Structure 1
């Protein structure tokens, strides 16, 4: 039960504190008196999207706080306990602030919380009904809840939900395994194709080393051509080429060999070198 509502710097409200007793409480007033603003502030506390436009002009932040008596609401107290909220007096105090910059903060019984958690607890405590609220009865969820309540099936609703989730999990797992199986089959087909390609290529032992050597040679083809040309210039081109020098040395050694027979063997080496060039 809502026992107190405090609103500060929200819309046109500077500071408001309203206490509610048991039974029916009605807020009355002429159009424009601010009734809808109070409902809007309560909606913000129940998780409505925060906006800096709700902060009163000239104020730094808007603050909405509500005090609820939850002593007769065990489900709410249990959920609060799951969220780590302590309520030794059976009171639940929800508070939310919206800064001028749009930043929002929330508390439950003085402990920092999230707007989602505050909204979850608040919606379990407050139902807001507008003039078109009856349209919610056309929704599937609402109709299902009404049908379950009429059939007295409330005790098995949780079991049905658990069974449905288990079935959905099994379905997802089956689909995931089917996807993995298709991937494995595709991989198998690809590997079989590669094996057939390798078999058709008739690859010989050591062929990869030869191909790498050939690739290395082709990658350095320009350097090899330039080096070969330079070497040819040294060996054969010009009057001072290496072949000319060998021929001259051979002829000179032949003259010396006629005077010293022991030098004839060296002439043979020069002849071989010359002819190899």
Structure 2
């Protein structure tokens, strides 16, 4: 409920403090007194898009503050929590300032907030209805939600959203798998050829380094083996023979030398031993340097093949085994992906079927509720002197989505035999007002907790029809709050609270103010609305009769 509205320096309003009440609040006043300015100011603090220049002439800035009751469970609390704003208080204070330069700043419970947050809050706080309403019942985008709320399809809508989410997830998974398979298929020939090449080569980690060492060793062996062989021949064919001959000759002369050759003989004995060890070492080396020429050729061929493969794939030689495993895995994924697509397609078909079933259930609930709503609105049109008008809720197929596959919009035909059309295009001003009012009465339960504002919704009607409009407005206000800007005395007389908007000029400055009327003042205001500038006693008597009900 809107509890208070404070306006400072907005258009022709200097300073205004209003305390609204539950029930039906009526605002009256002569044309041009400033009633629409109140709605402009309220729309400004709620973030609605309206006049570009609102600041009163001569003022530095304009300011509007709106205070709403915020009972537990109010939908505005969810908006506050999502915006990171305080949702614990039992009231909601919106404040917005507009400088003369056009800069706008907003606060929600003393915390800075954006215009978008204000607009989201306003959707939970206020509904404006009138001939130029583009936020409420005249907006076809909201007709499906209105019908769903009337039909109480919360469970059906939740089932559709769940099914749509599952359907979307299955479709995404299939699309991703198909894209992956398509990308893999584009390189399938390359993968199969590359994997076969690597399989045939079958490189091992560290193999390139080992082959290079082996190759260099065999190349070195070829160069030094000839010298080692000559040394072996010199040792075995020359040195051993010479030492052996010398030893025998000295041994034959040793007896006559009386010990002088003993040292020499001992040295020759040691030499023979060392020569034997040298020969053994050289022979061992020769054995180690022995290799088949084909072995060197084979080692070089494999080394060059590994290096060529590494260059081809632009990796290090030791990375070839990893590359082989990676390409093999991609090839396996391609083969597996082809097989897996069938399963994913089956999942999509199942999800489609589940969504179709849930959407069909929701569509059936909407169709049934549409019939009930049409009957309820038709029943309300008769007292509003539109018993021959026809209201229909049209449901047409639409693109599937999380809200089902129905497009919903309200149509009307104002005269028998006349073609039906969109509610915001067919009805005249007065007719439109009554269509809206009839629909709002039928949807009253949906609007508990929302302040409903009707801007001259009774325009173009009078007498008994105006009285019927007023009574339905009063009915809507039971247990809630309705604000109505009206020129109809019948409607004004049914208000629980009455304000008069007045305009005055002082020192060539025009200002607008709002006065709360007591019972006597209400009688005079309603008499003025009945009689015009000259209030007669007959008009006062008629006003008293209207107030008496």
TM-score by length of 2: 0.32
- Which residue in the other structure is 2:161 paired with? 161
In 2 relative to 1, CA 184–106 (structure 1 residues): closer, same or farther, beyond 3 Å?
Answer: farther
- Which residue in the other structure is 2:140 paired with? 139
- Which residue in the other structure is 2:76 paired with? 76
* Offset, 1:99: 2.4
In 2 relative to 1, CA 104–72 (structure 1 residues): closer, same or farther, beyond 3 Å?
Answer: same
In 2 relative to 1, CA 188–12 (structure 1 residues): closer, same or farther, beyond 3 Å?
Answer: farther
Answer yes or no: is 1:23 the counterpart of 2:18.
no
SS in 2 for 1:27: strand
- Which residue in the other structure is 1:255 paired with? none
Work out whether residues 51 and 98 of structure 1, in 8 Å CA contact, stay in contact via their aligned partners in 2: no
Q: Distance in 1 between matches of 2:139 and 2:91?
A: 35
Q: Which runs of 4+ in 1 moved over 6 A?
A: none
Q: What is the RMSD of the two structures over their aligned residues, measured on CA atoms? A: 3.6
In 2 relative to 1, CA 17–188 (structure 1 residues): closer, same or farther, beyond 3 Å?
Answer: farther
CA-to-aligned-CA distance 1:59-117 (integer Å, 9 cap, x gap): 23222210001125533234323433335540000112222333222111111111111
Q: Distance in 1 between matches of 2:141 and 2:122?
A: 23
- Which residue in the other structure is 1:5 paired with? 5
* Offset, 1:55: 2.2
Work out whether residues 43 and 50 of structure 2, in 8 Å CA contact, stay in contact via their aligned partners in 1: no
Answer yes or no: is 1:47 the counterpart of 2:47.
yes
Q: Distance in 2 between matches of 1:30 and 1:165?
A: 55
SS in 1 for 2:24: coil
Work out whether residues 10 and 56 of structure 1, in 8 Å CA contact, stay in contact via their aligned partners in 2: yes
- Which residue in the other structure is 1:59 paired with? 59
Work out whether residues 137 and 143 of structure 1, in 8 Å CA contact, stay in contact via their aligned partners in 2: no
- Which residue in the other structure is 1:171 paired with? 171
Q: Distance in 1 between matches of 2:36 and 2:50?
A: 17
In 2 relative to 1, CA 140–14 (structure 1 residues): closer, same or farther, beyond 3 Å?
Answer: closer
* Offset, 1:34: 1.0
SS in 2 for 1:117: helix
- Which residue in the other structure is 1:252 paired with? none
* Offset, 1:132: 5.0
In 2 relative to 1, CA 29–87 (structure 1 residues): closer, same or farther, beyond 3 Å?
Answer: same
Q: Distance in 1 between matches of 2:102 and 2:149?
A: 41
CA-to-aligned-CA distance 1:197-225 (integer Å, 9 cap, x gap): xxxxxxxx9xxxxxxxxxxxxxxxxxxxx
SS in 2 for 1:105: strand
Q: Distance in 2 between matches of 1:96 and 1:90?
A: 20
In 2 relative to 1, CA 183–68 (structure 1 residues): closer, same or farther, beyond 3 Å?
Answer: same
**Structure 1: 5+ residue runs without aligned partners?**
196-204, 206-277
In 2 relative to 1, CA 103–137 (structure 1 residues): closer, same or farther, beyond 3 Å?
Answer: closer
Q: Distance in 1 between matches of 2:101 and 2:169?
A: 42
SS in 2 for 1:4: strand
Q: Distance in 1 between matches of 2:105 and 2:71?
A: 26
SS in 1 for 2:26: coil
SS in 2 for 1:57: coil
SS in 1 for 2:67: strand
Work out whether residues 8 and 63 of structure 1, in 8 Å CA contact, stay in contact via their aligned partners in 2: yes
Q: Which has the higher contact order (CA 8 A, sep 6+)?
A: 2
* Offset, 1:183: 4.6
* Offset, 1:144: 4.9
Q: Distance in 1 between matches of 2:104 and 2:169?
A: 36
Q: Distance in 2 between matches of 1:63 and 1:72?
A: 28
Work out whether residues 92 and 109 of structure 2, in 8 Å CA contact, stay in contact via their aligned partners in 1: yes
Q: Distance in 2 between matches of 1:50 and 1:150?
A: 30
SS in 2 for 1:95: strand
Work out whether residues 94 and 107 of structure 2, in 8 Å CA contact, stay in contact via their aligned partners in 1: yes
Work out whether residues 52 and 100 of structure 1, in 8 Å CA contact, stay in contact via their aligned partners in 2: no
**Structure 2: 5+ residue runs without aligned partners?**
195-304, 306-549
34-43 or 170-179, larger mean C-alpha shift: 170-179
Which structure: larger Rg? 2
- Which residue in the other structure is 2:33 paired with? 33
